[in-house]
Each structure stands twice: as C-alpha cells, then as structure tokens.
C-alpha cells in the first residue's frame, strides 16, 4: 500500500526545549526537553494525569506552551491527529473525506476518487454514504484514520485512539498505524495499554506528574527502565 | 444537498421579494382617522374616485393627533380629519394651504342600557355630561388626543365639568378599542355615530343621547403645502381634494349607508 | 368576509371561501416575514458565528446587548424605523414608509438579535466539540465558520423558526411603519387589530386561528425536516 502522495525528503526533527505548561496557576507540564526524529513510532506512556495528552497537543501545536519552545528543525511537516473520541462532521462518511480534500485545495475533480480510495484502504467502502456519526466506535475511528491518510502526513499523532474500542477494532487501528508507518509516517501516540505499547513502540517517552522521567528505546524501557517510576509503572504498581 | 438547499432558499427568497415589489399605479397616501376607516366609508367612495381618475388612495388610519403628525413630517400626500380648530392651526402654521369642509357626522353618547346617570332625560349634551359627572358613573375617554378626544374635552369644558376621579377613565386607545373597553366595564363613552353603527360588540351598551348641535362632527380635507414638502404628489392629492367636494364626491358620501342609515352628511360649500 | 359568532366556524368559512383579499393578506404576511427572516439570517448567522469564535474587547457587552434586544418591544423597533424612513428622517428620500419594504426592515430589526444571539450559542457549543479537530486539520478560525454553521444546521433551523415566530406574530412594528393600508400593507396581525377595533371579535379570532394554523404548518415542516436530518446525519 502506498500513500497517495509519497514523500521523499526526511521528516524534520521536533524539538521541545524546556517546555512548561500551566493552567490557572497549576503546573501541568514542567521543564520538558525532548527531541523526536526519524520515521519512528514513539509511544508516550504514564499514569493518568501524567501529561501525555498535553504533551501531544503541545507537540502538534494545538496549544502554545506557557514557557519554553516547540520547534521543527527545518520545514514544518504535514501533521494529522486522531483523537480518543473521533470528531466527525455531521455528514456522510464520504463527505467527511472530501471535506478535508476541499480545505487542502485538492482539485474538485479528484476529491471523490481519492476519498473512495481511502475508504477502500480502511475497509469502509460499503459505509461511504452512511452518516458518519451513526457509525460504530471502531468504524468512526477507522474513518478518522482514513481522513488522516488523505492528508498524507509526515507525522501522525494518536491520542488514546484505541481506548474506547473492542479488541477487533483495536487490531484494525493498530494495523492502520503500521500501514502509516510503512508508508513513511512518523508515529507519535499515547496509550495506557502496556501490551499495545510493546507491540508498536520503537521508543518510549515516560511521563509522571507532569515531568519527563525518561525517553528510552522500547527494548530498554520494557526490560530495564532507567527511572524508578518507569520500573514501578511496568510492574503495575502505578495506578493509571 | 447543500447546493439544493441554497438554490431552494434563493428561489423562495426571490419569489417572495418579487411579490413585494408591487406593480404601482399612481397612488396617494391619505392620512385619516380610524372613525372613517372603521365605518367603511373609504371602501365605498375610493373605488368611485379611482375609476374616474386612475389614482389609488392608500389610507393610513390613525388618531387625529397622529394623522397631523404624519402629515407634518411629510409622510402623507393628503389629510382628512375631524378637528376644525386643529386643522385651522395646521393651515396657519403653513403645513397646509387650504382647508375645505367635506362632510359631517355626529357624536353620540352610548352607555349601559339601565342608564344610571339618566342622561336619556337630558335636554342638552352639557346637561348629560353634568349628570354623568354628578352620579360619578363610569365614563371611558379615548385619552389619545384624537379628534373625538378633543371634542369630548370641549364638551366637558362647555358643561363646566373638570372630569377627574375614579369614574373617569382615560384609555389611550382608538375608537374601537374604547368601545370594546366601555362595553366590558359598562361605562358611558362618546363615540362618532359611524363607528357606533358599524360596531359589532356592543354587549349591554346602547345609544342614550344624540341630536344636540354641539355634537356636530365636521370633517375637513387639507391640501398640504407644496413649499413645505415639495416631494409629495401634490397634483394627485389636489385631484382627490377637489373630488371630495365636487358634486360627484359629495353624492358618493351621501350614498353610503350602513343598515339603511346614512352615516356621513356632505356639506361642502 | 363571512362572519359568524363562532371563531372556529369563522376561521373555517374564511379558509373555505378564501377570497382574494384574505389571500393577499395571508401571502403578504408570509412574504414580509420570510424575507425579513432570510435577510436577518444573512447578517445574523455570520455575526453570531463570529461572536462565538472570536474573543475581543467588548465582546461580552455585545452579547449582553444582543440578548437584551431579543426582548425589544416591536412598537419601539417600529418607531425607530418610522423615524428613520419618514420623509423628515435621514432616509426619508427613499420614500419607503408605508410600504412592505418598510415592514421588512422593521421585522428585520426585531429578528436579527434573535438569530445572531441564538446562533452564537449554537456555534459556541459546536465549536467546543470541533475546535481541536478543525485546528488539527489546519483550519483558521475564519475558515471554521462555514463548517460550523453548516454542521449546526439542524439547530439553526430552530433558530430561524424562533425568528419567524417573532416576525409573524408581531403587530406593533408593522402597524406603525406599514400603516395597515388595505391591499398594500395589511397583514394578518394588523387585520386582527382592525377587526378587534371594529368589535368584530369572531372575525378577529378567526383570523388569529388562521395565522396560528399557518405558523403551526411551517413549524411542522421544519420539525419534520429537522428530524429527517437528525436521523440521516446522526
């Protein structure tokens, strides 16, 4: 499978430089420095309230940091994000896809064919004309992935994208993540499913209480975490 | 779907819009009083005028006070009201160049059929008004600075009564609403005969006093000053003004009857 | 017009013997109110959406004023438009007073705050749901506006109906700026006032029943459309 518009140039590094985020005087993320590079699958882990989703929103640019800098080292890449609860527009599955093509100025004549192809890629062809918001949770998430696919992103963010799904739907999303990755997309995702992290991660970013505890290759993190919190976490001693 | 919706609403809108742009014949706007409109007089005489001249007359029926104001602001081409003193002042102020007597009807006093103030036995309207005041019987006044209201206040003055107290109720309403209210609270009220005869909700109200010359209700037509309001349709308005006092116009007024009763009496000189 | 003592019978007779006068009055009522609502929507939808999406100094003030104007007495709106369009007023030269256009303007003034204010609420609620996703897709705030308005369409139909209800029911404004001229600016509500002042209460109430029936019909159509859309769009 190939993305519609394959990219050749390497993806710019994402650099977080001493990033902090406060909300109403409360520090939610403190002094975080981190570099994400290459075409890897980075999984952000940590217990509930650790700041995983926040870190991802800062990285994607949905939120500005209170202090510090979020920088792309080079040309800002095309990005897409899949949320825990997919936000689909009140129109058909197909129209949800032609919509993103329209806002990205894809010529009208090509939109429908591209959208249908994306639906086929994610096994949604038979649902093309169904209203997006009456699809099942798994179907909605696949549609959100198809929408991201059409953007041909260099970086794909997924925020707890499988946490509300049944096992079959989880499998479909994980397959989709592999498909994206195979086509040259950097993956940044949060999950609190340890097994999923083990299946997908190239490297792990571990957060605890709004602080970055470690950023290690997956093998290292799962066999011998460097931080004590990381160790407690993979042994199931930290509540999420 | 989006396109269909847009096309549908656009065509609906243009349809509605098109309907609003009426094909206009020549017309004048006439500011007049509710009493003439409610009695049906205009429905009877305007078609005759329009047949002859091809000029339509659009009647805005309001209280006399508001009718003067409308004409003063230049929003009416012609004025037909019943407040001779006010009309003469309007001419004196330079808003109108000519005032002509057109017709008269008369005021009557209506009230509850048991007539608690016993005005049926009165000789003059002054006596009737005094009896209402003395017995403190409920009296509904228009209280809206209309021609009828102004006439009523003159009648109190002539009777030497200063109408005050709980029995005297100023409604601030047109003739019809005042009659509705008077019927509702069994009060006396002064009304022009035309509105009374065509009024359909009298309940217990009945005509109790009529015929005094002081109840004479003169209507006048005014020719609005071209100098003050050059944009108005003075030529057309002049045709209406002249037609009203012409033989034909006077005959049309005399011919109008409700229940076999003539309501307006032409008296142009 | 036929008349009987029973307003329902009167209404029925009026409908059965729909004469050209009554037809003209009914259709003028609908035309004036529909055009007023459409033109108010043209301004009110983007205005409401803009208020929902942008934060600027004085925004709360604008919202409070709009909310307050939803309760503007029609007579006051009518009087303002009257003074504006009167020959002695600033727009007197247009000669619009006592015309259906003047009535549209007056009702537009009445309906605009309702549409703008309720649209703001609808769009603000939807924006809360959509904001991150649309931002992630790279949409600027300005480009979010049409998307949010279109996706709020089911709720916005109700907003339009509220506006239409206000327009078709009011009498104070159209009476002043229209003048209740027979065959030119006479609509349902001013006819009802006129018949009441003639003491013809059954006819007045009969006209009221017809007006209510018409408004009910339009609401029913919009409701059905809304339900269908909801079923189809989720």
Using CB atoms, pick whichever of B20, B62, B73 lies closest to residue C87. B73
Using CB atoms, pick whichever of C150, C180, C200 lies closest to residue B61. C180
- SS3 state of residue B91: helix
B126 and B96 in one domain?
A: no
B43 and B115 in one domain?
A: no
B126 and B26 in one domain?
A: no
**Residue of chain C whose Cα is closest to the Cα of A91:** C233
pLDDT of C139-187, one tens digit each?
999 999 999 999 999 899 999 999 999 999 999 999 999 999 988 999 9
* CB contact C88 to A (< 8 Å): no
Contacts of C81 in chain B (CB under 8 A): none
Structural domain span for residue B112: 106-215
Place A208 in a pLDDT band, splitting at 50, 70 and 90. very high
Place C222 in a pLDDT band, splitting at 50, 70 and 90. confident
- SS3 state of residue B263: coil
Q: Is B204 contained in some domain?
A: yes
Own/partner pairs for C196-199, CB < 8 Å, 24+ apart? C196/B176, C196/B177, C196/B180, C197/B34, C197/B38, C197/B174, C197/B175, C197/B176, C197/B177, C197/B180, C198/B38, C198/B176, C198/B198, C198/B199, C198/B200, C199/B176, C199/B179, C199/B180, C199/B183, C199/B199, C199/B200, C199/B201, C199/B202
Q: How far apart are CA B117 and CA B136, in angstroms?
A: 8
C9-17: average pLDDT? 82
pLDDT of C45-55, one tens digit each?
999 999 999 99
**Residue of chain A whose Cα is closest to the Cα of C130:** A87
Q: How far apart are CA C100 and CA C174, in angstroms?
A: 9
Place C22 in a pLDDT band, splitting at 50, 70 and 90. confident
Q: A89 and C147: CB-CB below 8 Å?
A: yes
Q: C199 and B199: CB-CB below 8 Å?
A: yes
Which of A80, A90, A93 to probe by mutation at the C interface, max C CB count within 10 Å? A90
Q: Give the C window 142-171 contacts with A, CB below 8 Å.
A: 143, 147, 151, 153-154
B231 and B99 in one domain?
A: yes
B258 and B177 in one domain?
A: no
C108-124: average pLDDT? 97
* CB contact B231 to C (< 8 Å): yes
Q: Which of B215, B237, B257 is the C-terminal boundary of a domain?
A: B215
Q: What is the CATH number of domain C19-233?
A: 1.10.3720.10
B117 and B70 in one domain?
A: no
What is the CATH number for B169? Answer: 3.40.190.10
What's the pLDDT score for residue C203? 87
B113 and B194 in one domain?
A: yes
Place A30 in a pLDDT band, splitting at 50, 70 and 90. very high
Q: How far apart are CA C82 and CA C212, in angstroms?
A: 27
A117-144: average pLDDT? 94
B100 and B225 in one domain?
A: yes
Q: B60 and C179: CB-CB below 8 Å?
A: yes
Which of C152, C199, C206 to probe by mutation at the B interface, max B CB count within 10 Å? C199
Residues on C contacting B at a C-beta cutoff of 8 Å = 27-28, 30-32, 34-35, 38, 86-89, 92-93, 95, 97-98, 100-101, 104, 150, 179-182, 184, 194, 196-201
A173 burial (CB, 10 Å; 0-12 / 13-18 / 19+) is: buried
Q: B74 and C88: CB-CB below 8 Å?
A: yes
What's the pLDDT score for residue A2? 45
Q: How far apart are CA C103 and CA C106, in angstroms?
A: 5
Q: C87 and B229: CB-CB below 8 Å?
A: yes
Q: B12 and C182: CB-CB below 8 Å?
A: no
Region for B113 from its dihedrals, namely left if φ exceeds 0, alpha if ψ lies in -120 to 50, beta otherwise: alpha
Output the 3-class SS for chain C: CCCCCCHHHHHHHHHHCCCHHHHHHHHHHHHHHHHHHHHHHHHHHHHHHHHHHCCCCCHHHHHHHHHHHCCCCHHHHHHHHHHHHCCCCCCHHHCCCCCHHHHHHHHHHHHHHHHHHHHHHHHHHHHHHHHHHHHHCCCCHHHHHHHHHHHCHHHHHHHHHHHHHHHHHCCHHHHHHHCCCCCCCCCHHHHHHHHHHCCCHHHHHHHHHHHHHHHHHHHHHHHHHHHHHHHHHC
Using CB atoms, pick whichever of B12, B75, B200 lies closest to residue C87. B75
Q: Is B161 contained in some domain?
A: yes
Q: Is B66 contained in some domain?
A: yes
Tokens 């007597």 -> residue: B101
Asked if the A40-53+78-234 domain carries CATH number 3.90.78.10, the reply is no
B127 and B196 in one domain?
A: yes
Q: Tell me which chains share at least 3 CB pairs under 8 Å with chain C.
A: A, B
B119 and B85 in one domain?
A: no
- Chain C: give the shortest CA distance to residue B201, in Å: 5
**Residue of chain B whose Cα is closest to the Cα of C38:** B13
So what's the ipTM on this one?
0.88
* CB contact A102 to C (< 8 Å): no
Q: How far apart are CA B109 and CA B120, in angstroms?
A: 10
For residue B14, is pLDDT > 90? no
**Residue of chain B whose Cα is closest to the Cα of C39:** B13
Q: Is B4 contained in some domain?
A: no
Q: C132 and A79: CB-CB below 8 Å?
A: no
Any idea where the domains of chain A sit in the sequence?
40-53+78-234
Q: What is the pTM of this model?
A: 0.86
What proportion of chain A, given as a percentage, has pLDDT over 90? 82
């Amino acid at each position: 499978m190939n993305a519609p518009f394959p990219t050749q140039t390497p993806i710019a590094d994402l650099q977080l430089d001493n990033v902090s985020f406060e909300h109403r005087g409360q520090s939610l993320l403190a002094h975080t420095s981190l570099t994400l590079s290459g075409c890897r699958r980075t999984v952000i882990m940590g217990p509930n309230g650790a700041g995983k989703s926040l870190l991802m929103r800062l990285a994607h640019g949905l939120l500005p940091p209170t202090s510090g800098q979020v920088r792309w080292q080079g040309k800002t890449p095309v990005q897409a994000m899949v949320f825990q609860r997919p936000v689909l527009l009140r129109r058909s599955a197909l129209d949800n896809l032609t919509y993103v093509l329209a806002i990205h100025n894809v010529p009208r004549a090509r939109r429908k064919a591209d959208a249908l192809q994306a639906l086929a890629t994610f096994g949604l062809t038979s649902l093309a004309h169904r209203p997006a918001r009456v699809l099942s949770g798994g179907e909605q998430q696949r549609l959100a992935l198809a929408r991201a696919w059409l953007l041909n992103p260099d970086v794909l963010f997924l925020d707890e994208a499988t946490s509300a799904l049944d096992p079959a739907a989880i499998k479909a999303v994980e397959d989709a993540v592999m498909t994206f990755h195979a086509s040259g997309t950097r993956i940044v995702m949060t999950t609190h499913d340890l097994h999923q992290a083990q299946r997908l991660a190239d490297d792990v970013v571990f957060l605890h209480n709004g602080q970055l505890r470690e950023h290690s290759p997956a093998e290292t993190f799962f066999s011998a975490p460097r931080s004590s919190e990381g160790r407690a976490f993979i042994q199931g001693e930290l509540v999420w | 779907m989006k396109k269909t919706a847009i096309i549908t609403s656009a065509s609906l809108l243009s349809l509605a819009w098109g309907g609003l742009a009426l094909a206009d014949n020549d017309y004048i706007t006439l500011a007049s009083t509710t009493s003439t409109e409610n009695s049906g007089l205009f429905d009877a005489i305007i078609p005759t005028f329009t047949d002859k001249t091809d000029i339509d007359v659009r009647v805005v029926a309001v209280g006399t006070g508001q009718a003067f104001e409308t004409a003063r602001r230049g929003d009416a081409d012609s004025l037909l009201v019943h407040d001779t003193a006010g009309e003469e002042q309007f001419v004196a102020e330079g808003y109108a160049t000519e005032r002509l007597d057109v017709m008269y009807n008369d005021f009557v006093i209506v009230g509850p059929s048991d007539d608690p103030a016993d005005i049926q036995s009165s000789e003059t309207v002054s006596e009737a008004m005094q009896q209402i005041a003395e017995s403190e019987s409920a009296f509904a006044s228009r209280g809206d600075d209309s021609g009828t209201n102004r006439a009523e206040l003159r009648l109190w003055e002539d009777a030497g009564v200063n109408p005050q107290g709980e029995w005297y109720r100023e409604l601030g309403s047109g003739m019809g609403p005042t009659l509705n209210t008077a019927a509702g609270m069994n009060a006396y009220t002064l009304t022009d005969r035309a509105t009374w005869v065509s009024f359909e909700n009298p309940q217990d109200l009945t005509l109790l006093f009529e015929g005094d010359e002081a109840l004479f209700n003169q209507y006048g037509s005014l020719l609005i000053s071209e100098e003050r309001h050059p944009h108005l349709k003075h030529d057309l308005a002049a045709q209406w003004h002249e037609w009203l006092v012409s033989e034909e116009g006077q005959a049309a007024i005399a011919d109008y009857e409700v229940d076999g009763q003539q309501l307006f009496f032409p008296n142009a000189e | 017009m036929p008349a009987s003592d029973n307003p329902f019978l009167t209404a029925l007779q009026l409908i059965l013997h729909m004469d050209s006068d009554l037809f003209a009055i009914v259709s003028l009522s609908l035309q004036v109110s529909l055009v007023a609502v459409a033109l108010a929507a043209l301004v009110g939808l983007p205005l409401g959406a803009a208020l929902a999406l942008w934060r600027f100094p004085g925004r709360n003030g604008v919202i409070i004023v709009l909310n307050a104007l939803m309760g503007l007495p029609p007579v006051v709106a009518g009087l303002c438009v009257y003074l504006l369009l009167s020959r002695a007023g600033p727009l007197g030269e247009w000669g619009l007073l006592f015309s259906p256009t003047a009535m549209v303007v007056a009702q537009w003034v009445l309906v605009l705050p309702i549409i703008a204010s309720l649209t703001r609420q609808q769009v603000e609620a939807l924006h809360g749901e959509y904001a991150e996703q649309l931002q992630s897709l790279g949409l600027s705030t300005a480009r979010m506006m049409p998307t949010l308005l279109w996706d709020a369409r089911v709720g916005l139909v109700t907003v339009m109906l509220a506006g239409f209800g206000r327009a078709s029911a009011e009498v104070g404004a159209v009476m002043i700026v229209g003048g209740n001229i027979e065959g030119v600016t006479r609509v349902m509500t001013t006819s009802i006032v006129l018949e009441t002042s003639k003491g013809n209460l059954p006819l007045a109430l009969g006209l009221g029943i017809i007006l209510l029936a018409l408004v009910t019909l339009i609401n029913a159509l919009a409701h059905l459309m809304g339900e269908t859309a909801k079923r189809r769009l989720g």
